[in-house]
Amino acid sequence: MNNFLFILAYYLVWLGSLILASYNLPWFALAFSIMISAIQLYYFSDLSSVPTWKKFFFCMTFIGFCVDSLFSFSSFIRFYFNPWQPFLAPPWILGLWINFSVLCIGLNSLLKQLQHYLWIIALLVFPAVYLGGVAYKVAIFPLGTPSSIVLGLVWMLLFPLVFRNTL
C-alpha cells in the first residue's frame, strides 16, 4: 500500500509542478513539492529501514539538479518560467528532484530487488518524464529527439551509480 501512495504522491507532485510552472508559478511548485515530500517522508516512510536515506536524498537531489542545470546552461534543455535562467535549472525542477529522491527512498526495497535493471528503467523512464515537461510547454529540447536519447544515456549511468553507492 505504501508503494502505491508514494507513486501516487510522486505523480501528484509531478503533474502539479508542471501545471504550476506552466502558469509561471515556479516557487509555488517548489513549495508544493516540499510540502508533499515532507508528508511522504515523515508519515508514510519507515526511515529506520533506510539508514542512509539522508545521504541518498541529498546526493540524488544535488546531482539531479546539477545535471539539469548543466543541461540548461548549455541550452541542451530550455526550461521556461525559470527565474535562475541561464545558470541554473528552475525552482520547480529542484522540487521535482526533491520528490523523486523521496520516491526512491519510499520504494527502496522494490528498487533493491530491481537494482540490476535500474539502467534500463532509467534509460526509458527519465526521457519520458522530461517529455512530459515538453508536453506541458514548460521545457523544450532545442535539438529534438537526440536530447531525449542523451538524457536517457546520462541517467542510465548516473541513477544506478547514485542508488548503489548511497542507498
What pLDDT, in 10s, does the model give residues 39-65? 999 888 888 889 999 999 999 999 999
DSSP state of 62: H
List own/partner pairs for 59-66 with CB under 8 A and 24 or more apart.
Answer: 59/162, 59/165, 59/166, 60/97, 60/100, 60/101, 60/104, 60/162, 60/163, 60/166, 61/94, 61/97, 61/98, 61/100, 61/101, 63/158, 63/162, 64/97, 64/100, 64/101, 65/89, 65/93, 65/94, 65/97
pLDDT mean across residues, the chain? 94
From 124, 122, 62, 72, select the one nearest 98 (Cα to Cα).
62
| Mean pLDDT confidence for 2-17 | 94
Cell triple for 84? 535562475
**Within 10 Å of residue 42's Cβ, how many Cβ atoms?**
9
Decide: pTM greater than 0.85.
yes
Is the per-residue pLDDT at 122 higher than 90? yes
- Note the pLDDT of residue 105: 95
Who contacts 71 (Cβ-Cβ below 8 Å, separation ≥6)?
A: 77, 89, 151
Question: Beta-strand (E) ranges in 3-141?
Answer: 78-79, 139-140
